[in-house]
Structure formats: structure tokens, C-alpha cells
């Protein structure tokens, strides 16, 4: 106990010095969240990516190279990040419930800033829209003014994508001429203009702001200005070497990417359900459009960053990753690292004048307590109680401030993700099962060397986990298999390693 108290005192002292160095005035906060963005960014060693503006931000930020989401699906991931509570605490694994009415009146990240003197505003996709944020983006709890949504987003899935024969479809691949789109614009362009308008009014004001800007691309459909295709000639697009389903992958772990198959242009390919495969030519076009969409967002982010003053903490993050053919999969909806690992950058004024790489394992639930410590708007967040009954302000993450300051501690020894399934075999609703249909939960733990996953029975009435009812296990050794291509679960020579990893997985995040 004395060691824990001493560590807390040291960390708190570091944070206090941290904030004193950063600025005298209260820092503004710009929170940028990008939909479906994996680390397909130049500063994350992706040689294909053309992302000069994000790279420029990275050059003066803390770059967290091993940041993981808690579930690779938009609503659960965003609500987990913004409340610093994990999916099992929110009891949210789909798009169909609002945590304040079903579990507890938990405080959110922007709400905490609002309650401590900040003007908070949401632009674009920050919370997932719909019932999961009470059809209001959690207004007025989290935001000082009504959240902004682009008027053109109602056309995001409309039949506006041009086919080769001149007809229009609701396609996956949809490069467009912007002037010919409804209202002559695209949703992310509208969000940028709203953000620039907000910053023009709020910069140099005495009341600090917390501005959250959510960009929709590279989320499907890949609707973006067609000129960004020029950055990625199709003949230069590489295919992943591991683009086939691993023979030892449990069937329950497979993500059949149904939302890809149902797009008009993909239907014409007659891709066999559930395992495919998709043709190399089609996969190349998907990869090309994912990267083109990312470069489009990079350009908008560059314009946004030019309007930010020097007193602003900037957080840049993806809400989850996206598979681009690795293991024969597309989209998210899995526990593979392609779906769970995301880019995370934190820029702190006057402190990160140069790039500072952090290789420690971190989770998106860590962002909330980190921003509290960096701004010192309140005392540090306490750890949430085990019973999950309290609605008091707390965190199920761990502040990254001491790691940013240079504390020599090793950090977390493991990070945790999970994904639900309706049954042991791929079904049409395997990707996005609604709560009542979930019967299996895949609990996944990544350590510095391994990823270990068990797909176990899950009761959505009691929310009890049946660890003894197992439908599949996965074990990957990243030291010899960074691509997670060879499932080693069940190997007799790894029995003790798997046994210890299983024990750690069951104990959970509180014990790492």
C-alpha cells in the first residue's frame, strides 16, 4: 500500500509540473476523432500513406504506437472512450441503448470539462448518433451548445455513386466530383467549415473551449473527392501477403463483413458467403479508396490545425481500425490487431516541440483521465469500484500523463478488447449482433508479446460470463508472427504460457 501511495504522489507531482510548464492560462482542447481509421499514416511507418498534415502534428506530439480500443465497433468504442468505462460496464455492445437510462448516469469527458468552466461543442460524428446517445449526441449533458451535424450526411448511403455504365448506385467505392453532390459539398467539408467558424469566434476568448470534431471518412462508403485517387495509382497498390483465412482460426472469430457485401457494386461480384474470397482486383480498389479517403481527411485536418492557437492541447485518435484484406477479412468487427489498434497523438503546448514516441501499451479509456491531469480541471480521476454501481465520476483507464512526462514505470502489462457474436458459426448478423441475440463474447488480451483470446458463453440477461463454455481460443506470438497469422492455441509446448495468459485474461484489466 505504501508503494502505491508513493507512486501516486510521484505521478501527481509530475503532472503538476507538467501543467505548470505547459501554460499559465487554461489550455483549450481540440479533440479530433476519425471514423474507422487504422494507423494508415506516414508517421506510423505506413509507407503507402500520404498524410503530410497528420504527420506534421505527429512531429510535435506524443505518438502512442500501441493504442488499443475496447471494442472494434463505432458506438461501443466511442461511448467507452468518452465515459472511460469499458463495454461490460456500459453493457453496450451494439447501437441500441443509452447508458444513462440503462446502466448509470456516468459523466462523460466533455461533460466534465463543461462542468469545470469550459465551453464544449461537438461537430460531426463524436458520439455515435441515434439511441446510443439519446438522439441528441448527449446534449445538453455533454455540450454547451447543440451539436452540429452536416446537412449533407443524410445522403451518405444514397444512390449517388456513378457506375461505369452511367447509372447510379449505393456503392462501396464512390469517388465523386464534389460540386455535383447534394448542396455542392460533402459532410466532412461541412464539419470543417463549422469548426473553423467556431474557432474564429472562440480563439483568444477568456473562457477555454473543448471542441470535438468527428470526421466520417474513411468509414464506408468510400465517398471522397475523386482527385485523391491520383495519390494512389492502382498499379502501385500492394496486396497483403496474408490475404487468406488462417486455417486454424476458430469459426466464431470470423468476421463475414456483411456490410461490404450488401453494397450495390459488391453485390455484382457474387462473393461467396461467409468466407469469400474477394478478387485481388476488387481488393486493390478497396485499399486504394481507403487510403484516398484518409488523404482527403488529412487535407481537412491540415486546414483545421492551421486555425488552432498555441494554447491548445490536441488529441487525435481513430475510433477503431479496419482490416484491408488481412486474414481474408474486411472492415472491423473482430479482435484482430487490424481492427483494435489505432493511431493516438497528443500535442501539449510548449512541451511537445518534437516528436516523442511512446511504445507502452495504452487504451482509449486512458484518454479521459489523461486530459484531466494535463489540464488539472479537477483532482485526478479515481479508479471505478468493482461493483460498477456507483455513478460517481471515476475511470476504468489509467492516466498517460506520467508516461508522457517520462516516468520509468513499465505501464500496463496488457490491454483488453472484446467482440460479441450471436453464435459459434458465421451468420448474417455476426458482425453487428443486437444485444438480445448475443450468446458468445470474445475476450481478447494483448501483452507485449502475445495476443490471447477466448470466445466464451455470455448471458445478456445476467451479463454473466461462462468461462468454462468455450467456443474457440486464439494465441499469437508477435515476436515471430506480428501479422497474427498462426494460431498457436492448444500447442502442448505452450501449455504453461497459455495457462498463465488465460488466468490473466480472466482476472481482467484491474490486475495489469
Bridge pairing between strands 62-68 and 362-363: parallel
> Where does 12-93 show beta strands of DSSP type E?
28-34, 62-68
Q: Is 193 a catalytic residue?
A: no
Report the C-alpha gap between 32 and 252 in whole angstroms.
Answer: 34
Report the C-alpha gap between 126 and 14 in whole angstroms.
Answer: 31
Catalytic residue among 112, 119, 121, 128: 128
Query: Is the four-CA dihedral 345, 348, 354, 359 of positive or negative sign?
Result: negative
Bridge pairing between strands 323-324 and 330-331: antiparallel
Catalytic residue among 14, 22, 74, 394: 74
End-to-end CA distance of the chain: 16
Residue 32 contacts residue 213 (beta carbons within 8 Å): yes
Dihedral angle, C-alpha 455, 322, 438, 445, nearest 10 °: 30
Pick the closest to residue 211 from 222, 225, 200, 224 (CA basis): 200
User: 115: which 3 cell numbers?
Assistant: 462542468
Report the C-alpha gap between 234 and 289 in whole angstroms.
Answer: 10
Residue 84 contacts residue 109 (beta carbons within 8 Å): yes
65 CB neighbour count, 10 Å cutoff:
17
Pick the closest to residue 257 from 334, 341, 320 (CA basis): 334
Q: Is 112 a catalytic residue?
A: no
Report the C-alpha gap between 483 and 246 in whole angstroms.
Answer: 11
Running DSSP on this structure, what letter comes out for residue 510?
Answer: G
Report the C-alpha gap between 421 and 225 in whole angstroms.
Answer: 36
Helix axes 2-22, 367-375, angle to 10 degrees: 60
Q: Which residues are catalytic?
A: 74, 128
Amino acid at each position: 500500500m505504501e508503494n502505491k501511495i508513493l507512486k501516486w504522489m510521484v505521478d501527481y507531482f509530475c503532472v503538476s509540473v507538467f501543467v505548470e510548464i505547459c501554460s499559465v492560462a487554461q489550455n483549450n482542447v481540440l479533440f479530433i476523432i476519425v471514423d474507422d481509421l487504422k494507423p494508415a499514416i506516414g508517421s506510423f511507418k505506413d509507407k503507402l500513406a500520404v498524410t503530410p498534415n497528420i504527420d506534421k502534428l505527429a512531429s510535435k506530439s506524443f505518438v502512442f504506437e500501441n493504442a488499443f480500443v475496447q471494442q472494434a465497433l463505432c458506438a461501443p468504442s466511442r461511448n467507452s472512450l468518452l465515459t472511460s468505462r469499458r463495454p461490460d460496464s456500459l453493457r453496450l455492445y451494439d447501437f441500441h441503448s443509452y447508458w444513462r437510462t440503462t446502466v448509470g448516469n456516468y459523466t462523460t469527458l466533455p461533460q466534465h470539462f463543461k462542468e469545470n468552466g469550459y465551453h464544449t461543442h461537438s461537430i460531426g460524428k463524436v458520439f455515435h448518433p441515434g439511441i446510443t446517445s439519446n438522439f441528441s449526441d448527449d446534449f445538453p449533458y455533454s455540450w454547451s451548445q447543440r451539436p452540429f451535424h452536416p446537412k449533407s450526411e443524410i445522403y451518405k448511403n444514397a444512390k449517388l455513386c456513378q457506375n461505369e455504365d452511367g447509372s447510379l448506385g449505393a456503392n462501396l467505392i464512390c469517388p465523386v466530383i464534389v460540386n455535383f453532390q447534394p448542396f455542392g459539398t460533402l459532410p466532412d467539408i461541412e464539419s470543417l467549415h463549422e469548426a473553423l467558424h467556431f474557432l474564429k469566434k472562440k480563439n483568444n476568448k477568456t473562457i477555454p473551449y473543448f471542441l470535438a470534431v468527428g470526421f466520417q471518412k474513411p468509414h464506408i462508403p468510400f465517398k471522397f473527392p475523386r482527385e485523391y485517387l491520383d495519390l494512389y495509382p492502382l498499379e502501385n497498390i500492394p496486396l497483403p501477403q496474408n490475404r487468406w483465412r488462417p486455417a486454424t482460426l476458430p469459426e466464431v472469430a470470423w468476421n463475414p463483413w456483411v456490410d461490404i457485401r450488401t453494397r450495390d457494386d459488391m453485390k455484382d461480384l457474387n462473393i461467396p458467403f461467409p468466407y469469400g474470397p474477394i478478387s485481388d482486383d476488387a481488393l486493390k480498389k478497396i485499399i486504394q479508396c481507403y487510403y484516398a479517403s484518409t488523404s482527403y481527411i488529412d487535407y481537412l485536418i491540415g486546414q483545421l490545425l492551421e486555425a488552432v492557437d498555441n494554447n491548445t492541447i490536441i488529441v487525435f485518435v481513430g475510433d477503431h481500425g479496419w482490416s484491408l484484406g488481412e486474414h481474408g477479412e474486411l472492415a472491423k468487427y473482430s479482435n484482430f490487431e487490424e481492427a483494435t489498434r489505432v493511431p493516438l497523438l497528443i500535442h501539449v503546448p510548449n512541451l511537445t516541440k518534437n516528436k516523442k514516441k511512446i511504445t507502452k501499451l495504452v487504451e482509449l479509456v486512458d484518454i479521459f483521465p489523461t486530459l484531466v491531469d494535463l489540464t488539472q480541471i479537477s483532482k485526478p480521476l479515481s479508479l471505478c469500484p468493482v461493483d460498477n454501481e456507483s455513478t460517481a465520476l471515476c475511470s476504468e483507464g489509467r492516466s498517460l500523463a506520467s508516461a508522457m512526462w517520462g516516468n520509468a514505470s513499465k505501464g500496463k502489462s496488457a490491454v483488453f478488447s472484446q467482440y460479441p457474436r450471436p453464435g459459434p458459426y458465421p451468420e448474417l448478423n455476426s458482425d453487428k449482433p443486437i444485444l438480445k441475440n448475443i450468446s458468445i463474447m470474445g475476450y481478447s488480451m494483448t501483452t507485449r508479446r502475445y495476443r490471447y483470446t477466448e470466445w466464451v458463453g455470455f448471458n445478456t440477461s445476467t451479463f454473466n460470463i461462462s468461462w468454462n463454455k468455450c467456443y474457440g481460443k486464439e494465441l499469437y506470438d508477435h515476436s515471430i508472427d506480428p501479422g497474427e497469422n498462426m494460431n498457436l492455441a492448444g500447442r502442448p509446448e505452450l501449455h504453461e504460457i497459455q495457462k498463465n495468459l488465460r488466468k490473466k485474461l480472466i482476472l481482467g484489466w484491474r490486475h495489469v
